[in-house]
Structure 1
Amino acid sequence: MSCLTERSIHNAGGNMTRPSGVKPNRLFQTSTMAALLDAVYDGEMTLGELVQHGDFGLGTFDALDGEMIVTEGEVRQFRSEGIASGTTADMKTPFACVTYFEPEKTVTIDKPMGKEEFEELVNGLIDNPNLFGAVRFTGEFEKVDTRTVFCQHKPYPGMLEVVAKQPTFRMGEISGVMLGFRTPPYMQGINVAGYHLHVLSDDRKHGGHVTDYRVKSGKLEVARISDLEISLPKTEDFAKADLQPAGLHEAIRTAEGG
C-alpha cells in the first residue's frame, strides 16, 4: 500500500534449493489477472513467502510499484525508470507466478528470430496447447521493448488507465535472460493467455515486462506445467472485484501490450 522511495540492496531469495517434497514445474500463483485488472493492487503475500514456492517467475509489487522477475531464487524489481533493484523479504505482491523450473527440453538458437517465430518454436517444443509452459531464453538480443508500471495511490485507477501512461523503453543489442510463462487460452483472466515474459540484462541493471523482442543467439529452455496452485486474497477489495467484466480478453491484451 506504500511506494518505496529507496531501492533496497538486499534479496528476497537467492540460491534457494527446492524444498523436499515440492515438485518441479508446478505453477504457484497469487491472486488473478482479472483482479489486477480491476485495481486489486494491495499485496497480501510477502516475497519471502512467495519464493518458498519457486525460484523462477514474474509478477508485480504492492500498489503496482513496478515489474518483478524471479531468477535463480533472486527477486528483482523494475520501477518506472526501468532500472532493476534488489528487494526485501517483507515486500508484498498482489500478483505473481513462480515455479521451481526444471527444463524438459533445451535447444540452441543460432540465428536471429522475432517474437512470432520464437513463440512458434516454443509452441512446438511444448507440443500441447492446453498446458502451461515455462520458458527461459538466455543469450543475445538484437532488441527488446519493455514497459514498467509505476506505483499507484488510493483510490486506485483501473489498470487500463495505468498502462495508458506507462513508461516504455527500447533496449538495443543486449545480453540477458528472458523468462516467463505461456498460458492456455481457457485460463484467460486467471492468468494472461498467451505469453507473459520479463527480461533482465546480464548486468542486472535493466529490464521489465517484455512487449516485443528479437533474439540473436542463445539457449532456449522450456518445460510443460500441468500442476497449478492459486492462492486467492481474502481481502474486501478482492471480494468486491468484478472478475468477469465484459471485454476481459481485449482488456488483458491491452494491459499486457499483446
Structure 2
Amino acid sequence: MKKQSVMDMDVRSSALGNGVLKKPVTNRLYQTSTMAALLDAVYDGETTLDELLQHGNFGLGTFNALDGEMIVTDGVVRQFRAEVTIDSPKTKETFEELVDSLLGNPNLFGAIRFTGEFQRVDTRTVFCQCKPYPHMLEVVKKQPTCTMENVMGTMIGFRTPVYMQGVNVAGYHLHFLSEDSKRGGHVTEYRLVRGQLEVASISDLEIQLPRTEQFAKADLNPESLSEAIRIAEGG
C-alpha cells in the first residue's frame, strides 16, 4: 500500500463537572510516504494492512498501484474502486466476468452494486413458514417467481470465495430492487443494458452463530451440500 494516514479516534470532553480542566488528550497521526511521492508516481509501498492498523483505527489513503480509495473506520479497512459505466448489454456471465476482473483476488469477499437499466430480471421470493419447518429444498419448490422486463432498478449483493461454501453461498448472491421500490427479490437470472457499477473488496468477516436447539441439532455438512445450495439459490 502507498500513502495512508491513520490515528486512534479518541474524542473526549475537555472539562470536568467541577470546572477543572482535564489534561488534553494527545492524538497521534501516523502516515506512510508523502503526497509529493504520490504525485511523482511512487504508487507502491511496504506497509501491510496489519501493520497499518497497529497505528490507528481511523484514516484514509490509497493502495499499491493506486488501486482505489482507502477508508478506515473503527479499525475496518475498506477499498473502493472507481465506478464503471456499463454502456452495452451484458449477460449474467459477462457481468460476473467484469466484476471478477475489477475485484481481483478471488479469495476475498466482494460487494457489488449496479444501478441502471435491465432488459430482464428474474427474481423469486419465499413464503413465510410455519413450524415444524420444512426443508428449504421443499420450500423453494413452491416459491413465487417474477420476470421483469425493461425495468430500472438496483442490484446489490456479494461475491463469496469458494472455500466459504456452506458458511455462505459461494459465488454471486444478488438481490434486485426496482426504482419505484415496489418489486424485487432474490435474483436468478438477468440481462443488463446500461448503468453504473460499484465494487469493493472485503477482507474482514464477523459471524455470529445461533445458540438455538435447532442449530445444535442441524446437519451442517451433508454430502450434497453444494448441490442443495445450487437448487435453493436457483442456480
Q: Please classify the TM superposition score into its range, dividing by the shorter chain length.
A: 0.5 to 0.7
Q: How many Å apart are 1:105 and its aligned residue?
A: 3.3
Which structure's relative contact order is higher, taking Cα pairs within 8 Å and 6+ residues apart?
1
Query: Are 2:177 and 1:207 aligned?
Result: no
Query: Are 2:229 and 1:233 aligned?
Result: no
Structure 1 counterpart SS, 2:152:
strand
Residues 156-213 of structure 1 deviation map (CA, whole Å, 9 limit, x = unaligned):
0000000011001100111110000001111000000010000000101101000000
Residues 199-229 of structure 1 deviation map (CA, whole Å, 9 limit, x = unaligned):
0001011010000000100000101111100
Match of 1:254 among 223, 231, 234: 231
Structure 2 CA distance, aligned partners of 1:20 and 1:130? 23
Residues 201-258 of structure 1 deviation map (CA, whole Å, 9 limit, x = unaligned):
0101101000000010000010111110001011111111111011100100100011
1:191 corresponding residue in structure 2: 168
**TM-score of the pair, normalised by structure 2:** 0.68
1:110 corresponding residue in structure 2: 87
Query: What letter corresponds to residue 87 of structure 2 in structure 1?
Result: D
Query: Are 2:220 and 1:167 aligned?
Result: no
Structure 2 CA distance, aligned partners of 1:211 and 1:243? 24
Query: Are 2:234 and 1:245 aligned?
Result: no
Q: Percent identity?
A: 67
Q: How many residues are matched?
A: 165
1:21 corresponding residue in structure 2: 74
Structure 1 residues 116 and 167: CA distance shift in structure 2, 3 A: same
2:158 corresponding residue in structure 1: 181
Runs of 4+ in 1 over 6 A off after TM superposition: none
Structure 1 residue runs of 5 or longer lacking an equivalent are 1-17, 26-101
- Does the 8 Å contact 1:105/1:125 carry over to 2? no
Q: How many Å apart are 1:129 and its aligned residue?
A: 1.2
Structure 2 counterpart SS, 1:119:
helix
Structure 1 residues 227 and 19: CA distance shift in structure 2, 3 A: closer
Structure 1 CA distance, aligned partners of 2:111 and 2:134? 31
RMSD: 1.6
- Does the 8 Å contact 1:185/1:194 carry over to 2? yes
1:4 corresponding residue in structure 2: none
Structure 1 residues 151 and 22: CA distance shift in structure 2, 3 A: farther
